[in-house]
Chains A and B, each alone.
Chain A
Amino acid sequence: MADLDKLMNLDGAIAAFQYGDGGKLIDSRVVDQGPLDENMLDLLCHMCAANTCIATMQARGWESVTGNSGFYPVEGFSLIGFNWSVVTHAQYGVVVRNDEVDYESAYQAVSGQAMA
């Protein structure tokens, strides 16, 4: 089974993806007749990459100001949307329905994916 296929086995998963530097979509899976297509996923990946970059800058600033470490480098970003959530780690991510999401399992799955 392909890696992204495993992510699609998560409860409520409607899409799984891998993106490259800057957010360009490399590979993806979507559920049949779901709300997402490849173009949408490509934009979603770019948004996740942008938010991760900003959070990385903030983690750097935070550590510099407070001396508290543990944030940098930022490894993942999740957005809890109105109906959907996207959970990413490194360059892998999964989109899950909010009414079925388990953030911990989703994050473990995508981070396992990233380290594989």
Chain B
Amino acid sequence: MIKRLLALDGVLAVCQFRDDGEFVEGYGLMPEDEMIRLSKFAHDYKRMVQGNTDQLSMFTQMPGWTPPRGWIVHGQEKSVLSIANLVCLIENQGASVSEVMQELDRLAHR
């Protein structure tokens, strides 16, 4: 099902991982060992972002941040987008961040 994300412009790879970080499946223009690394990175970064968001909520007492739904890291030519246990690698030129995020959100909560 997540494979359909590859149909969107600029999407290079999409992966799904379990709550413990284990790679579930991945599709795209990269070897499987790199997809496994991408999943590991996304899992680790997700937990770190969660930890930092918990602290933000704790210090500001502002509701509405936690639990975080996802994150985006914008690189110079490529970006990584994640919602729940899905992660997507895109090329900045040609991809629509909003479109990919919408599709990730839809797939993550179907």
Contact = CB atoms under 8 A, between A and B. Distances in A.
Nearest to B95: A104
By size class, the interface of chain B is 35 or more
Contacts of B80: 71
Nearest to B98: A104
A44 B56 contact: yes
By size class, the interface of chain A is 35 or more
Given A35-B64, A81-B68, A104 B73 contact: no
Main secondary structure of the interface of B (DSSP, over half): mixed
Given A71-B75, A75-B75, A80 B83 contact: yes
Pairs of residues from A and B, 7 with the lowest C-beta to C-beta distance, nearest first: A76-B74, A83-B64, A71-B75, A70-B77, A81-B65, A78-B72, A70-B78
Given A40-B62, A51-B71, A54-B45, 9 more contacts: A50-B52, A54-B48, A70-B76, A73-B76, A76-B72, A79-B49, A81-B65, A84-B64, A104-B98
9 contacts: A47-B56, A51-B52, A51-B71, A65-B37, A70-B76, A71-B78, A75-B75, A81-B53, A81-B65
Interface of A: 35-36, 39-40, 43-44, 47, 50-51, 54-55, 58-59, 62, 65-66, 68-84, 87, 89, 98, 102-105, 107
